[in-house]
Structure formats: structure tokens, C-alpha cells
Structure 1
Amino acid sequence: MNDITADTPQPVALLDDERLDALFDFFDSERVSEEALDFFGAHGLLTALAISTVVHDRDERHALIFDTTPEFDNDQQRQETLDALDALLDNAVDVFENGNVPDLPFDLEFEDSAEDNDDHPVRLWCAGFMEGVFLDEAAWFGTQEETAAELLLPFMTLSGLFDEEDPELAALGQQPVEATRLAGQLAELTLDLYLLQRAPAEKPTPAPSKGSKGAKGRSAGKSKSKNGGNAGKRR
């Protein structure tokens, strides 16, 4: 068994399984507007907000996720749901501060059939993550535009948000083997991006990705997909 060095980033769950399952069930219910982010999109958005140096208050974060106020069954459900979302963000910051990476709540492997991958949780998560990026575009790119764009390329490719704008990027993201490879980079790339935001002098090395245009200057728009079919299942 190989020894794990202290410098090796470890995957850490941002919430325990019980709270994650409760959040998933809530987002998958009729209580949440179809215009809201799905569970995976919300997880991605909050992960991005944990990386960004721009602080968004609690009400703003919840509005970004839900679009309109959900139909909570009671005050307890409301409190538990919103507290879980806040804890997810806070825990993400702690994970990054300790040099670790988030344990992403889905399987990373893509199926052989492209049709089965249209609503893959990885795509939904990346779409939510990119919303967080373009919410504070100036802060994300700053003086490190080229490095940030390279680090974000896998997120862009897998999000599907740029398929119409960039057919080359779309084709890359539709290749199951390549999509699986890119998905496997996401967790460590979030830590690289966090370090880039806070220690620009220590530039992380971008993960190798097959070429396309950088992220800067694109407009992500909002990801409005709800969980559907098998894509909505947590691992």
C-alpha cells in the first residue's frame, strides 16, 4: 500500500451523505421551481462561489439557486435546506484552505452513448460552476486571464453551455472517453483555481486539454436543467 504524502490533495465530502441526500430529494421535488438550478447545478455554483474572492450574501446565493422561493413544507424544512446550502459553501472553503479537493457527488464516467450523457450530472454540475464564474468574471480572470482560461476549459467543455457557440468544444465534450478524462480532472482543478485566486504568483500548471478558445469573453447564461431520468441519481 502506497503512503500518501501530506502534500497530496484528499477528496473531502462537502456534506455528509444524509444532508446530501436530503438536498437531492428536495431539489428533485415539485417544491422547487423548474426555473431553479438542479441539485448538481447548485453544488457546482456553490463550489465556484467558494473559490471566488467576491463575497455574495446569503439571500443573494439562495436567489441565484432557486430563482423563486421554494414551497417549503414548514419552517424546519426551510431552515434545514438553507443551512445545508450554507454549510456546503463554508465547508468548500475549509477544504480548499486545507489544500484538499471536494468529493464530487456523482460518478465521473460517461456512457458510450452520447444520448445517455446529455443530462449527465457532470454536465449539470459544470453548468452551475460556470454560472458562478461568469457572475464575477473580472475577479476570476483578473491579471491571470490566460491561466484561468486554461484551467476552466474542462468545465466549459463539459458544461454544454457553449455548444452552439463553439462546435469544436461541443464535439470534444460529446466524446465519452474524453469527457470521462476531463471529468476526472475537475476536483483538482478547483483547488488549482482557488490557489490562483489567492496566490497569483504561484501559478498552477493547467491540465492538458485539447484545444479550443479560452473562457474569457464568453457569456454562460443560466443553466435551467432540472434533474431527469438516470442523470438525477446520486451515486
Structure 2
Amino acid sequence: MSDTPQPEPLLDDEQLERLDDFLASERVGEDALDLIGSHGFLVALAVAPSEAEPSAWIAELFQGEPAFGDAAEREEILGLLERLRCNAIAALEQGLLPELPFELTLDGLPAEETPIGDWCAGFMEGVFLDEPAWFEEDEEASATLLLPFMALSGLFDDEPDMAEFIGDGTRLEGLVRQLPELVLDLYLHYRVPPETPKPSPRRKKPAGRRKA
């Protein structure tokens, strides 16, 4: 049997469909994240080293206030989004992998033309919400761990240092298959403190001979 844990759904199919219907409706602005982008965004918030205020991330996700039908619908939709974030935290805390809402393959397409690119772009939007917090402890390690999400998001294609990375289709396909594990790696990076070496026991000095 494989030691790799099975992906954990963050919402059930009915809940995802309800969110999808609302986020795709005309009551949400054109610049708001869709279901796939919102999923990536909220998983990033679950991983983030600092907790964002709900008012801040809701405004970023919707790019304004949607035209909710009434207070009950507002509570329902925001409750589903918060549940997705909290379920991601609970899964990652137990060492489980988040189930992502797409097939883990590019099928030879550029990442930005697939749901994978949309999800990673949403994830990076979650990083941008408080970018300094992601890099203040160990900038080099954080940048390395975030590189796959950056490469697959399509947001950094113009960066000179990214060209060679993005151009390696086989490498990108491998990263796509590893996305759930990469999310868990990031979470552990921010949540599990590095082990400090145990102090070596002090050797006793041999007793000197007593003088006659």
C-alpha cells in the first residue's frame, strides 16, 4: 500500500456547484475570481503564515461587494467560502492532501489555458494579499516552494528567470501531479518549526590522581 494519503475533498459536490452557480452569475463582478480561482485563493489562505481579516480576503476575492439576493444568501455564500478555507486548514493540519477540483494533467496545453493555471493564479492572489509575510522568515526557501505555483499560474511568463522553467513541459507535468503534496509541503514549512539539534552530553573529565 502507498503511504501517500488520499486527497481530502474540501467541500462536497453540491456545495461546490452552489458556489459555482453564484460565482458565475451576473450578480458577481467580471473581475471576481471564479470557482477554480477561489478554491486556489482559499487554499493559499489556509497555508498562509498570517491570517487575513475576512473583510480583506472577501473584498479581494469578489473585487467589491456582490449583489446578494438577501442577507440569507450572503451568509450562505460567505459561509461556504469560509468552510472551504477551514476544511483546508483541518486537512493540512492532519497531514492530508487537499483534493483539487480538476484533473492533475496539462494534456500538452499551456498551464494558463487550463483550470490548473486558473487555480494557481488564484493561489498566488492569496499570496499577494500579504506577500511580505510569506517571505519574511526564510525568503529563499519560500521562493523555492512557491516556484511551481508561480510557474503554473501564467502570471510570471514575462520574467526572464522563469522562461527555462516554463519551457520544460515534462517538468511542469510532474509539478501538476504533485500539486496537492506541494500545498502540504508549504503548510508544513510555515507551521512546523525546524528541529533544533539536541545538545551533546558533556563528557565527564577523568578524575585526577590525588597527590600523595
After TM superposition, the score normalised by the length of structure 2 is: 0.83
- Greater mean alpha carbon deviation, residues 39-48 or residues 73-82: 73-82
Alignment of 1:81-92 (within 5 A): 81-92=77-88
TM-superposed CA distance for 1:179, in Å, is 3.0
Please give the per-residue CA displacement for 1:136-171, whole angstroms capped at 9, x wherever unaligned.
2232123322221111111010001111223x6256
Change in 2 beyond 3 A, CA 1:82/1:153 = same
> Structure 2: which amino acid aligns with 1:169?
M
How far, CA to CA, are the matches of 1:56 and 1:143 in structure 2? 18
Contact in 2 for aligned 1:160/1:170 (Cα 8 Å): no
Matched, 1:195 2:188: yes
Q: Distance in 2 between matches of 1:38 and 1:30?
A: 12
Letter in 1 for 2:137: T
- Aligned position for 1:128: 122
1:1-235 matches, cutoff 5 A: 2=1, 4-5=2-3, 8-114=4-110, 118-166=112-160, 169-170=162-163, 172-173=165-166, 176-201=169-194
Percent of aligned pairs sharing the same letter: 48
Deviation, structure 1 residue 175? 5.5
Q: Distance in 2 between matches of 1:191 and 1:38?
A: 23
In structure 2, do the counterparts of structure 1 residues 170 and 160 end up closer, same or farther at CA, with 3 Å as the change threshold? farther
Q: Which 5+ residue runs of structure 1 have no aligned equivalent?
A: 203-235
Q: Tell me the distance in 1 between the aligned counterparts of 2:163 and 2:67.
A: 36
Q: Which runs of 5+ in 2 are unaligned?
A: 196-212
Alpha-carbon distance in structure 2 between the residues aligned to 1:180 and 1:20: 26
The structure whose Rg is larger is: 2
Distance 1:118 1:49, change over 3 A: closer
Q: CA RMSD in A?
A: 2.1
Higher mean C-alpha displacement, 19-28 vs 153-162:
19-28
Going from structure 1 to structure 2, the CA distance change for 1:110 and 1:19 (only over 3 Å counts) comes to same
Task: Report if the CA contact (8 A) 1:157-1:170 is conserved.
Answer: no
Q: Retained in 1: the 8 A contact 2:145–2:182? A: yes
Letter in 2 for 1:194: Y
Q: Which moved more, 1:90-99 or 1:136-145?
A: 136-145
Question: More deviation in 89-98 or 193-202?
Answer: 193-202
